[in-house]
Chain A
Amino acid sequence: MKRRTLLGGTIAVAAFGLVSSVEAQQPPIKIGMSMPQTGGLAGGGKPSLLGIEIWRDDVNAKGGILGRKVELVVYDDKSSAAETPAIYSKLIDVDKVDLLFAPYATVPTAPIMPMVKQRGLLLIGNFSFQVNSKVGHDMWFNNAPWGPPDSWAASFLDIGQKAGGKTMALLAADQEFAQNLAKTAREVATKRGMQVVFDQSYPPNTVEFSSIIRSLKAAKPDIVYVASYPPDSAGILRAVNEIGIGDNVKLFGGGMVGLQFGSVMENMGSLLNGVVNYNSWLPEKSMYFDGTKDFFDKYTKRAVEAKVDPLGYYLAPFGYASGQLVEQAIKAVGSLDQKAIAKYLRENTHKTIVGPIAFSADGERKETAVLQAQFRGVADKNMEQFRSSGKQVILFPENLKSGDLVTPFEAARK
């Protein structure tokens, strides 16, 4: 008996809190999401959220959408998949939000995909990787620049092959995102008849990479494709610097998460030089679109107060872009009808601060806009240097290219 009253009480309190908060005569447009603000993904979740918040403030300063203000309803999912179903149920059934954004990253997003599909709801993805491939939801749109799943590995291997690379080593973290990257890399390599001479997954929380790098080096690969997570990325680069990687390596990097974050880059300093890694946005001339500069002016100011990544290149502008996507779609459709919004998003190309975005049928980008960029001339302990162009030279895609590959890897590190 006791447990039911308690449970009922909880729900009543939760529901009550909501009813009282919405009182304006023109109800705001509510956009609901969970966002990792604690746990392992918080380092990405926080800047991403800040990007979305800046969009909200910009939109509201302009008078909102359809004359209605935008309100964000955000809960912390603690970077855990176990939390998101209840949170999104709350957002849908209790908060009755008008639109849904997905949390940053794949793991927290995966459990809500079947749910939004079943209910026929629009979901704007946030840097998750291939969560829709099995679910097949036609109202899913990912803000990430990934594009077709294999394009990422393909572009990296292209660069390597052009530089004369024939064999590949693969080093991946034993965690979901890295494993997905490694899988596509393996497939692309097989398709191209490229020999994989080293293929290892290392466990999370590996402290010391010297021994792994040593055995990787012994395999003498031309191309080293690394799919790693923030703490390991730093450890791997350190070990590479200390142990060396051999003169035959022409290209090193690819899928190292973490080298996009300001604090990590600052800490790594000159160790980064020569690494060719994926990215989503960089302060190169080719990357500035309408509003991009304005956005970063605001972000830089607010990031200090919020204690989040001072650079915020990787995720924050895409958070802003998510907002721009729905903003344009709602304005064009003239209502909050999710089916219509989805139709509009699918059929048009949208202008955002990260460039034009067009979606293919699976809700991913039509074409990949994942950058492959090489670190050059990076000095130690200097955050500000990354704000100027030339520190990360874009090698791919062609239309954004800002320089050529320096190879071999050991030479590029100097």
Chain B
Amino acid sequence: MTNAEARVPLLRIVSLTKRFGGFTALDNVSVDIPPGERFGLIGPNGSGKTTLINCISGAFRTEPGTVLFRDEDITPLQPHVRTRRGIARSFQIPRPFRSMTVAENLMVALDFAAHEHVSVAQRRDTMMSILTQMGLASKANASATKLSQVELRKMELARAMATHPKLLISDEAMAGLSSSEVDEVLDLLMSLASQDITIIMIEHIMQAVMRFSDRVMCLDAGKIIAIGTPSEVMANQRVQEAYLGT
């Protein structure tokens, strides 16, 4: 964190604003995320967390504001190009490719997002090692529709991993899971973070955020109301108001 690298952020968001009709979902948001950071993103419902992610991953276009990734302006790029640049994400409500098996889900990522051309056999190996890491190896040939909730969450992370990301955005990957499952997924994310992957984690489960994050940012009504270490943010009055007040 304190080394020289931190001055060249992996992701740099500059004055990002996003409006839907008259509603301002994001209001002049700027933040830098250095490589290797575990970044927690919190905020009440409708505060703009998912909108921010959609702006980073490219699902939404932004007019005012820029998104820089590894010093490159990616604002005009389509989502799939951003994925190839190294931004991967999971979804709040899992979105598997339903007509495919788990293995095939990952193969899509390997086919399209892999940087160098590698043989089919090599891709298969990569896929299996990711699945093994995620604890899904036994489900490789199962249809994506047959997975349990936690398996779906893991598969989404695995699919995101298969794109060889530098930045992984996990959008409430623990919602609706039991506490043991939450721990499981949290451990997974931790182990990914230790592999030199920067992670943005959106989460409602505060404990998980606290345990996971190097730094936490809190959004409310599209604005940053606090940013800092988990304990700093938690102690912040406005954060407490945002969570308890409204």
A touches B in complex, CB < 8 A: no
Question: Which residues of chain B have a CB within 8 Å of any CB of chain A?
Answer: none
Question: Which residues of chain A have a CB within 8 Å of any CB of chain B?
Answer: none
